[in-house]
Amino acid sequence: MKPAIFFDRDGVLNDNVNKHVNKPEELILYEGVPEALKKASEAGFELFVVTNQGGIELGHLTHEKLKKIHDCLEEQLKGYCIFKEIEYCPDFKKASNCRKPEPGMILKLAEKHQIDLKNSWMVGDRDTDITAGITAGCYTAKIGKIDPRADINEANLDNRHVERGVDLEAVVEAIITESL
């Protein structure tokens, strides 16, 4: 069984402060994200994306459009990392066992790919990401506002690479250090 890092997408890999991502060209990676993912991959983690995409239920987005966005994401990361799988939850209001804070996406991927959840991490920018990670039995890392339940808070890290914005590289380095 291998350890993994499950990354939330919006607000972790790419900026969604001003707008929802409904087209490939709207997916803008934060500075240092390819380098961060490369480090995580080289450290021996399987990499996954677990993203709530309730815009599908709401009709802002189709499965086909979302696939184009994720193809574009993988294209931008060529030469840095390969995601084992990009998992999304299309639900918004209807009862769902995959929409975070539910742990369904993580549990499904772990079973399918034989992931060692006890030594895996969920990285997210919302408390719902942290709840999902904790419920799935992972360590957790929080981007942005501090969540006292998280094992790592980006806001507390001092190994910073970028002055402003999300510093995923610092988070990944902290995860690797904690996992040694």
Closest approach of Mg ion to the CB of residue 135, in Å: 17
- Pick the closer one to Mg ion by CB: 11 or 101: 11
Q: Note whether 81 and 99 are within 8 A (CB).
A: no
With CB under 5 A as the rule, give the number of residues binding Mg ion: 4
Asked, as a colleague might, if the bond just before 103 is cis with ω within 30 of 0, I would say: no
Candidate list 5, 6, 10, 120; residue touching Mg ion; CB under 5 A: 10
**Is residue 11 a contact point for Mg ion (CB under 5 A)?**
yes
E-strand spans in the chain? 4-7, 46-52, 85-89, 121-124, 139-142, 152-153
What is the rounded distance in angstroms from the CA atom of residue 158 to the CA atom of residue 165?
14
**Is residue 102 a contact point for Mg ion (CB under 5 A)?**
no
What is the rounded distance in angstroms from the CA atom of residue 88 to the CA atom of residue 85?
10
Checking DSSP bridges between strand 4-7 and strand 46-52, what pairing results, if any?
A: parallel
Closest approach of Mg ion to the CB of residue 52, in Å: 8
Q: Note whether 88 and 51 are within 8 A (CB).
A: yes
Residues 111-140 that bind Mg ion (CB under 5 A): 125
Residues 30-69 that bind Mg ion (CB under 5 A): none
- Pick the closer one to Mg ion by CB: 7 or 139: 7
Whether residue 151 lies in the annotated active site: no
**Is residue 24 a contact point for Mg ion (CB under 5 A)?**
no
Q: Note whether 180 and 157 are within 8 A (CB).
A: no
- Pick the closer one to Mg ion by CB: 118 or 149: 149
Whether residue 10 lies in the annotated active site: yes
Using alpha carbons, select from 20, 76, 13 the residue that is nearest to residue 50.
13
Closest approach of Mg ion to the CB of residue 21, in Å: 11
Of these residues, 8, 15, 151, 167, which one is catalytic?
8
**Is residue 8 a contact point for Mg ion (CB under 5 A)?**
yes
Name the residues that contact Mg ion, by CB under 5 A.
Answer: 8, 10-11, 125
Q: Which residues are catalytic?
A: 8, 10
